[in-house]
Amino acid sequence: MNIKKLLVGFVTVFAVTLTISAIVTLLWNFVVHGASTVDWEASFGFATLFGIILSWIGTRRSKCGKDCRAQLPREV
């Protein structure tokens, strides 16, 4: 397992998710409540969760290759 690749993947997913969720909570609070505030707790929570899960899935897929991915049954 390449730790550098795992960390780069985590930081990338974390940054993208944090940015998007901050924008979404800002727009949500602006439209619904009329206040321009960002829910940082929810944004960091989503960013951490998606960063861990998606980087873990990416690491497992890169180790595995095409042979171990789930395949749908073929119709006869």
Domain that holds residue 30: 3-64
57's tokens: 């899935």
Please check whether residue 28 lies inside any domain of the structure: yes
List, in sequence order, the alpha helices (H) in the chain.
3-28, 40-64
36's tokens: 């321009």
The predicted-structure confidence for 2-34, as pLDDT tens digits, reads as follows: 888 889 989 999 999 999 999 999 999 999 999
Per-residue confidence (pLDDT) for residue 76, from 0 to 100: 58
Q: Count how many domains the chain has.
A: 1
Please check whether residue 71 lies inside any domain of the structure: no
CA–CA separation, 60 and 5 (whole Å): 12
The predicted-structure confidence for 41-53, as pLDDT tens digits, reads as follows: 999 999 999 999 9
CA–CA separation, 14 and 28 (whole Å): 21
Please check whether residue 17 lies inside any domain of the structure: yes
CA–CA separation, 43 and 73 (whole Å): 39
Please check whether residue 69 lies inside any domain of the structure: no
Q: By the 8 A CB rule, do 31 and 2 touch? A: no
